[in-house]
Amino acid sequence: MEGIRLNRFIAMCGVCSRRKADDLIKEGKVTINKQVIYNLGYRVSPIDNIFVNGQLIFIEKKRYVLLNKPMGYITTMSDEKGRSTVVSLIKNFFNERVVPVGRLDKNTTGLLLFTNDGMLSKKLMHPKYNVQKTYHVHLDKAMKESDFKKIEQGFELEDGPIKPIELKHIGVAHLSITIHIGRNRIVRRLFQFLGYNVIKLDRVAYGCLTKNKLSLGKWRELTKKEIESLHKNN
């Protein structure tokens, strides 16, 4: 790592962007070998101990893990109530600490991405990048054609507008909906608003990622092509 500029090193550790790293350096929040560094041009060496806000940082191997989440697991790193967490399905397989990108409700199944790539995670969750997510929805009754058209055209919920990118019939009371909005329980709420109860909700696609025969409760690491696609499209 000799010769890498300090701001790039901080960004590579997943702390923040290079621009934000420059701000941290200017604010005196970066120390190297117990000395505060204000020099934006400082280049790190392999023997440097670098701290940001008092925490030692280092470059980990980047991990990108895709889980097909089963029902009954909550999307959190730990739970004081002892409930099953998604992390329990992938822990002990990596030395690196990967965290979920976004969340799925306890009763929602489907694709959930984990990574220790902080920069990519922030991008994927930021509304301006419009990451598409496709869900298969089972309802408690067949949908009226008028309601189908209303969803297609978009309407207002209590926390703002909702308009899907695509809405398709799969079967009786079974639809596919693609959205880029990530508001809390948005898919369940839009159907409930029209008088339908969601019996089963399954996320089948996240950006360029699909299940591709990934069994429920199982995980896999992303391919190089998938990782490049996530970075390229965001």
- Percent of the chain residues past pLDDT 70, beyond the cut: 98
Residue 139 near residue 174 (C-beta atoms within 8 A): yes
**Any idea what the Cα angle at residue 156 is, between residues 163 and 186, rounded to 5°?**
60
Active-site annotation holds for 105: yes
**Any idea what the Cα angle at residue 47 is, between residues 45 and 49, rounded to 5°?**
95
> What kind of architecture, by CATH, is found in domain 132-206?
2-Layer Sandwich (3.30)
Rounded mean pLDDT, 157-174? 93
Q: What pLDDT, in 10s, does the model give residues 187-227?
A: 999 999 999 999 999 999 999 999 988 999 999 999 999 99
pLDDT reading at 233 higher than 80: no
Rounded CA separation 71/152 (Å):
28
Q: How deeply is 148 buried, as exposed, middle or buried, from its count of CB atoms within 10 A (0-12, 13-18, 19+)? A: middle
| Structure tokens that stand for 75 in this block | 């999307």
- The one catalytic residue among 105, 147, 159, 202: 105
| Structure tokens that stand for 123 in this block | 């991008």
Domain 4-56: which CATH number of 3.10.290.10, 3.60.110.10, 3.40.50.720, 1.10.260.40 = 3.10.290.10
Domain boundaries, the chain: 4-56, 64-126+212-232, 132-206
